[in-house]
Chains A and B, each alone.
Chain A
Amino acid sequence: MFWNLPYFTVVILTFIAILIILTKKNLVKILLGINILESAVNLLIISIGYREGGVAPIFTLAPSMTMVLPTPQALVLTSIVIGVATSALLLSFTMVIYRKYGTVDVEKMKELRE
């Protein structure tokens, strides 16, 4: 299992994240599970672009000319920013829900108020 360690880490993190989203009852814990799922997917995209013995794809004082692939790094940059935007909006929704219902338990907010 040690020759493929990043991919096994992705599998463990995704499993833990889906377990949290499906079984927890507190809204803030579900949001943390969504964040862990986001990090696992970013790790998977980055690990695909690794070349053995490669350095960073930067030509300023480069130690060698075998470089890793630069395209997955550009995609992950976009994905991280979208994760930040999602987390900010979800947290502000949680604050307004707490002000309206008085609780953050998912089982207790089933009726439409007011």
Chain B
Amino acid sequence: MRKAVTYVSLAIITIGLLMIPLGLEFGKPHHTDMDDYFLRFGQEQTATNNQCTSVTFDFRGFDTLGESTVLFTAVIGVALMFRRFYGGEDDADE
């Protein structure tokens, strides 16, 4: 029973995935209006030579703030799991 469900779902997922190479064309992106604006005016407005960094930190800086917070949360999560083995100056359990 479980094997039948596995194979049927894998078949459905593969048929859905095969639409990607048959529908897209490599090398000719469709809608490039936003990136044409970034490449034409980004260097004057942000005074940067590297357009990837100017998009990450200046035009889309809010996403980078969220990503830094995710990294911070992950480090706090790992520190919480191993709290009673490191150090020992504070009591972890009553």
Contact = CB atoms under 8 A, between A and B. Distances in A.
Direct touch of chains A and B (CB < 8 A) = yes
Interface of A: 1, 3-8, 10-11, 14-15, 18-19, 22-23, 44, 47-52, 57-60, 67, 69-71, 73-75, 77-78, 81-82, 84-86, 88-89, 92-93, 95-96
B71 A85 contact: yes
B49 A23 contact: no
B31 to A, nearest CB: 10
Chain B facing A: main interface SS: helix
* Chain A binding surface SS class: helix
Contact of A59 (B51, B60, B81): B51
A13 B59 CA distance: 32
Nearest to B54: A70
A85 B20 contact: no
